[in-house]
Amino acid sequence: MPNKLDLGAMFRSRSIAVIGAAKDITSLPGRPLHFLKGFYQGEIYPVNPNYSELNGLTCYPSISSVQAEIDLAIVVIAAAKVPEVIRECAAKGVKAITVLSSGFAEQKGRSGKRLQKMLKEIALKGDIALAGPNCAGLIGVQNGVVATFISGLDRGSILQGPVSFVAQSGALGSYLFAAAQDAGVGFDNWVSTGNEAVLGFHDFVSYFVKQETTRTIIGYMEDARDGKAFQTAALEALAAGKPLIILKVGQSKSGAKAASSHTGALAGADKVYSAAFEQCGVIRARNVEDLFDLASICGATHYPRGPRTALMTISGGAGILMCDRCEDEGLQVAKLKNETKDALKQVLPSFASVENPIDVTAELVANPDLLLKPMEITLADPHVDSLVIFLGLQSSNGLRLASLIIEAAAPTGKFIAVNWIAAPPGAVQKLRENSIPVFSDPARGIRSLGALVKYVQCRKLILSKNVAPRFESMPGSKKRTTGTGTSRRKLVQAQAIIQLARQEKRKALTEHEGKQILELYGICTPKRRLAFSAKDAAKAAEAIGFPVAMKISSSDILHKADAGGVLLNINDPTEVKRKYEELLSSVSAKYPMAKLEGVLVEETIQQGIEVIVGAKQDNCFGTVVTFGSGGKLVEMLQDSAIRVGPLGRSVALLMIKSTKVFKLLTGYRGDKKRDIAALVKVIVSAARLAEDLSENLASLDINPVLMLEKGKGAQAVDALFVLK
Amino acid sequence: MPNKLDLGAMFRSRSIAVIGAAKDITSLPGRPLHFLKGFYQGEIYPVNPNYSELNGLTCYPSISSVQAEIDLAIVVIAAAKVPEVIRECAAKGVKAITVLSSGFAEQKGRSGKRLQKMLKEIALKGDIALAGPNCAGLIGVQNGVVATFISGLDRGSILQGPVSFVAQSGALGSYLFAAAQDAGVGFDNWVSTGNEAVLGFHDFVSYFVKQETTRTIIGYMEDARDGKAFQTAALEALAAGKPLIILKVGQSKSGAKAASSHTGALAGADKVYSAAFEQCGVIRARNVEDLFDLASICGATHYPRGPRTALMTISGGAGILMCDRCEDEGLQVAKLKNETKDALKQVLPSFASVENPIDVTAELVANPDLLLKPMEITLADPHVDSLVIFLGLQSSNGLRLASLIIEAAAPTGKFIAVNWIAAPPGAVQKLRENSIPVFSDPARGIRSLGALVKYVQCRKLILSKNVAPRFESMPGSKKRTTGTGTSRRKLVQAQAIIQLARQEKRKALTEHEGKQILELYGICTPKRRLAFSAKDAAKAAEAIGFPVAMKISSSDILHKADAGGVLLNINDPTEVKRKYEELLSSVSAKYPMAKLEGVLVEETIQQGIEVIVGAKQDNCFGTVVTFGSGGKLVEMLQDSAIRVGPLGRSVALLMIKSTKVFKLLTGYRGDKKRDIAALVKVIVSAARLAEDLSENLASLDINPVLMLEKGKGAQAVDALFVLK
């Protein structure tokens, strides 16, 4: 988005024109004017040559005939006429437009796409902030800007609050708007992005981050479109301490299944999104209610500093239930100090439990005031980061209990939430008005708290350590130069190897070629020689030292072991010769169409733990790097970490630590520790290599990388480079 | 439960006495009478020597002074007086009692436990169906029996329906009752089980299964207490086609962490519950809302025959969202027939999508009648097992849409559910009245359908194949005799080995002893000999054949490999001798307190895939059998199947098939197929062995079992028997 576009003119506009306004308030073109009359305090200019007056307002034949400055134009006319109207708006100096009309790039055929291209060019030339086309409009709650037709507004009122919402679907965005309001989520802004001809999802996020009245941004996403721009906006939100919560749909695994490389299979499109989100501290909502729950919990006055959670309950069973969920959601059931337990004993009935979960017992029903002291005592415990209270029913005492909770919460800097089953509505409202999150199901409350704690920890990590992605577009970052003359020369060599394969129209490099590139990037590979005859192979084996491995060399066979093209532990020259012939004949019998270049004779690396390091190009996010349990079982184990590049050593180390295989590498059950430092280098080099060669390289598997003892390095035993 | 106990006298009682009734309707003893006056049509007899009249009813000084037959007595007096009153009730011929008083076994100290024992004996002697003590009472909605004090009744009405509810917590049971009613779940019966002195969770399940008015049973469970009795009741429910849905709490993993065997670690208490549930077709609810959602979906008129789901939506985004969830919940997005798609094209707008998910578009807002035809066409497709419709808002057309859905549903035998965001309440009510489940969140709707499909499939499997657990208590099953003279003799031999270890106060058997028992049960083990000197070891190795494995023999060292007590691939007698001394001295240096019996010299089994077969005794469910990926990484891989015994071959095969390692055993990526038939035998034998030796054997790990090529069997390479 060009910086000069003025999104304030959209969401805080002081004057609005409705181009194509109509009389029938049940019709799509009639609704925006109808809503504006109900909510908006600024100037409204209906534009339609067929009327001189509409709903009591003067109606203008064209935008240019309006004798006043216009911040925002709502366009609801036939698609074909839109470009001309945008041009008129540009001439008139209109700053912002939302195009509700459909019939653009979302349609089959070229004409819609052409129209959208025109519209984009005119808007950019005229410095117009344009939302849509084919969108449901937008809402700026502060100024009553209701530039939309959504039925979510039919209820006649909007619950104001600190949440701004970016929706990549008009209809669903409208329903979610209404349901969120029902769930007590108050809004600052709402926007439907439509076809995103000019302004995209990330532009709105970036704008909302800068609004003082917005504390939390929620989104419904189908496609980030520009991954780097999205991540940049997400990092802005993270830096500003404004949680960005996204419900991302489209998790179909079918894409991943068809992948030709292990890396492709491990890092399906949806997993790449999850990784990209996590790297930038985006909270991913699991479903619709989760989106609202998270929005609600992010509205809390204080965020928890850590995972140590005190649970206070009116029912023992609910206490156990919350404990169960804490374990699942990464929270710790806080260990209370002895002083805390002693103090609780003084104020609770003798049969109450003063161990966490603290059971205040059903005495609370008769005596609601019993809640205050235990809350104060528990919140004062330095081992407690947050307090979650469970209540049920209490129709007669509900408001009193809510007041007590608010009273106890006020002086503390700690996070407090309430799980309240079958709660009296008044009590819920009172708590929410005081920024205390309330959940109707204890599992949802604990899940939301777990997500919030993870957000806080993740934010701290990303902002304090050097692990945030660095993009060229970000302030302070610069394009990585290819560096010294040496590394430049290496890149040229690597590119030459790939060019050769491309000239031969190959889909992949041979293992030998791939390993040459790995070596150029400083990744160790076993000693090896490509042999073109049995005699040659035996000589190579003697030079390398026994036992050797023998592998068929062919860029037509991507997974050699599966094809029976790999033989291990060959112990003498005679066997090498015999196996050479066997290998060629058995593979060519199986794959008569495959071009076999010879046999790779290779040093045997003993006793390594197998891991995989991989990289691929993602359409949306660019270079994606994977690390995980490797070897033949890699796709079965599904133990991998995924990150969007570029990445440095600290991120590589985090990736390693997040996998199960990490435990093996650090000396599992009496085994020796492995060379993690060498592995970090392999991951960083693979990431850099993939970035450097991104134009031609679709994906890269280094599988297995054999992890040797600490100090002895890591060896890339196989390598598969798949070309674009 | 003795068969003659009359639970009908509880839930369908025609006359009720309230022993300890009080005037104050806000007090616990005052509430049952208050509720009965509001809901109950039968005879009510307050009993309290302090009043002659209570709330307009004659009050009696004692139960014996009531001159009428009494079906049910509600007891709300001090604990100490309860046994005497029960005795009086028995003399009077009262058939059922619920004891609301607390102060029994739930209390610290002996007196409460003694009181409960007395109460139990008197009740059993008098053939009284007794619920509690320390419970919140019960409700039989059909007859207005409200023998309880729960605040969930304060609202003054009960939504009647086909669901009966068993709660192992009074307070939470009350809140869940209220919240379920808010969620539209109508009840037939409700009971709080309290301390379960006489009647337990399973007794109520068993009774509700037999009630025509109950279609679904839901439960809140903390402890099944008698696992076999519970499973038996659950199988009754399954056979009757009445879904049993349980929210089970207490998943803490701490127990599993402390386990001394791999099997103990794999099969923690909570996982055993999940396995026991699955074996009997019990649907496990994940949380409170899930419990209600499942109760609601189980009320549908027709259950889906399979997983093929048609999705119909008013918003494209919601369609994707539902698709995502289908994949996660084991449902298939149905492939529509071409005829169906062609027919849909005829009735939908040109820009609609006739591929599943079928997007009927926002045209539906203006024209609700558009919904009928597409529904009819889709439901007629033989590739479609069920239909899920997504709607949002529609405040003006909601009722019309509901009517259309009901109309289309009527003639079809297929399952239909609606996900409706921000729905108009009237429309939801109308659909529910017609047994069409409605969900406020699409993810919840799809998750519930997934659970229902799994239930249907699971029920079919359990009832048609021979995979249901068979208990002695079940009709038609008989105690397995130890069979022929041979197998009897083997059992005696196995017991003798264990007795020896017990006499020596050992906590475990040595590997050699364990393997002897395995052999008695027909499980193959490698050739081996226990050697007591280096020379002896070398001789043994020569007899067995090289290479050999050497393992320290000690019942004090449970995990030999971790202790450095296992050496593999020893190739000649000299090495054997040297290693013998090394092994003894290195292990005794590490574990100076361990008694070392010598060294086990063993045949090397090559090229097997490592699996684990295990068994343990569970306090609640008895013998539990595990199978999974084995070897050193077993606890890291967490790839295992768990079943409660006894079990036969078909269950063993299902266990194998449910793990990831199954893929390896069937020839993964060019590998050879393994001997699954032999593995089935190992699992069945291990289960039988554990059952036979259950008195002394706490747990058994056979890890690894090496899986050889098809026809070549499976070898138990290591065995750990931990004694009680």
What is the DSSP code string of B524-568? ----EEEESSHHHHHHHHHHH-SSEEEEEE-TT-S-TTTTT-EEE
Asked if B492 is an interface residue toward chain A (Cβ–Cβ < 8 A), one would say no
* Angle formed by the axes of helices A442-464 and A227-240, nearest 10°: 100
Cβ B116 vs Cβ B149: under 8 Å: no
Structure tokens at B82: 């309860």
Give the nearest partner residue to A392 out of B154, B174, B442, using CB atoms. B174
Cβ B57 vs Cβ B21: under 8 Å: no
Q: List, in order, residues 6 or more apart from B653 with CB less than 8 Å away.
A: B676, B680
* Strand bridging mode A697-707 / A714-716: antiparallel
CA nearest neighbour of B279 among B711, B647, B604:
B647
- Give the pLDDT confidence score for residue A638 in this predicted structure: 84
- Give the pLDDT confidence score for residue B35 in this predicted structure: 95
- Give the pLDDT confidence score for residue A252 in this predicted structure: 62
CA nearest neighbour of A625 among A687, A714, A694, A685:
A687
Give the mean pLDDT of chain A: 91
The DSSP H or E segment spanning B83 is helix B82-92
Asked if A392 is an interface residue toward chain B (Cβ–Cβ < 8 A), one would say yes
Give the nearest partner residue to A441 out of B288, B440, B637, using CB atoms. B288
Question: Cα–Cα distance between A624 and A450 in angstroms, integer?
Answer: 27
Give the minimum alpha-carbon distance from A606 to chain B in angstroms, rounded to a whole number.
Answer: 15
* Ordered DSSP codes for B27-69: STTTHHHHHHHHH--SEEEEE-TT-SEETTEE-BSSGGG--S-
Where b means 16+ CB within 10 Å and e means fewer, B19-41 reads bbbbbeeeebbbbbbbbbeebbe
- Give the pLDDT confidence score for residue B476 in this predicted structure: 40
Long-range CB pairs of A178-181 (<8 Å, 24+ gap) are A178/A151, A178/A152, A178/B392, A178/B393, A178/B421, A178/B422, A179/A288, A179/A292, A179/B392, A179/B421, A179/B422, A179/B440, A180/A218, A180/A291, A180/A292, A180/A295, A181/A152, A181/A155
Contact list, A668 vs chain B (CB under 8 Å):
632-633, 636
Asked if A568 is an interface residue toward chain B (Cβ–Cβ < 8 A), one would say no
Backbone angles phi, psi at A399, to 5 degrees: -65, -40
pTM: predicted TM-score of the whole model, two decimal places = 0.92
Asked if B563 is an interface residue toward chain A (Cβ–Cβ < 8 A), one would say yes
Asked if B558 is an interface residue toward chain A (Cβ–Cβ < 8 A), one would say no
Cβ A599 vs Cβ A240: under 8 Å: no
Question: Cα–Cα distance between B332 and B459 in angstroms, integer?
Answer: 19
CA nearest neighbour of B267 among B600, B536, B638:
B638
CB contact under 8 A, B171 and A316: yes
Q: Look at residue A266 and tell me whether its pLDDT is greater than 50.
A: yes
CB contact under 8 A, A636 and B314: no
Query: A654-709 pLDDT, tens per residue?
Result: 999 999 999 999 988 778 899 999 999 999 999 999 999 999 999 999 999 999 99
Question: Cα–Cα distance between B423 and B445 in angstroms, integer?
Answer: 14
Question: Cα–Cα distance between A264 and B672 in angstroms, integer?
Answer: 26
Among positive and negative, which fits the CA dihedral B601, B605, B610, B615? Answer: negative
CB contact under 8 A, A327 and B633: no
Where b means 16+ CB within 10 Å and e means fewer, A476-509 reads eeeeeeeeeeebeebbeebbebbeebeeeebebb
CB contact under 8 A, B564 and A393: no
Residue B672 DSSP one-character state: P
Asked if A325 is an interface residue toward chain B (Cβ–Cβ < 8 A), one would say yes
Among positive and negative, which fits the CA dihedral A646, A650, A654, A657? Answer: positive
Residue B647 exposure: Cα atoms within 13 Å on the Cβ side: 33
CB contact under 8 A, B175 and A422: yes
CA nearest neighbour of A118 among A104, A129, A136, A98:
A104
Give the nearest partner residue to A251 out of B327, B393, B561, using CB atoms. B327
- Give the pLDDT confidence score for residue A474 in this predicted structure: 45
CB contact under 8 A, A252 and B327: yes
Asked if B287 is an interface residue toward chain A (Cβ–Cβ < 8 A), one would say yes
Cβ B315 vs Cβ A172: under 8 Å: yes
β partners of residue B643:
B625
Query: A545-572 pLDDT, tens per residue?
Result: 999 999 999 888 877 887 888 898 899 9
β partners of residue B700:
B615, B721
Give the minimum alpha-carbon distance from A251 to chain B in angstroms, rounded to a whole number.
Answer: 5
Query: B133-155 pLDDT, tens per residue?
Result: 999 999 999 999 999 999 889 88
Report helix, strand or coil for B470: coil
Angstrom distances, CA of residue A652 to CA of A273, A396, A478, A614, A679: 18, 56, 21, 12, 9
Question: Cα–Cα distance between B170 and A296 in angstroms, integer?
Answer: 30
Angstrom distances, CA of residue A646 to CA of A470, A651, B263: 7, 10, 43
Average pLDDT, integer, range A565-585: 91
Asked if B28 is an interface residue toward chain A (Cβ–Cβ < 8 A), one would say no
Structure tokens at A668: 């599992």
Average the pLDDT over each of A201-205, A499-503, A560-564 and give the range with the smallest value: A560-564
Report ipTM (2 d.p.): 0.90
Question: Cα–Cα distance between A82 and B701 in angstroms, integer?
Answer: 74
CA nearest neighbour of B1 among B205, B282, B166:
B205
Tell the residue number behind the tokens 């009613």, with chain if given: B181
Contact list, A669 vs chain B (CB under 8 Å):
559, 561-562, 632
CB contact under 8 A, A443 and B289: yes
What is the Cα A460 distance to its own chain's centre? 17
Angstrom distances, CA of residue B1 to CA of A534, B197, B200: 80, 11, 8
Mean pLDDT by 10 residues, chain B (724 residues): 80 96 90 95 96 94 95 96 96 96 91 96 95 96 95 89 95 93 94 96 97 97 94 96 95 53 80 94 95 96 96 92 92 96 93 90 86 95 97 91 94 95 94 95 96 96 74 46 66 94 91 95 95 94 93 84 86 93 89 88 89 94 94 83 91 94 87 94 96 94 94 94 92
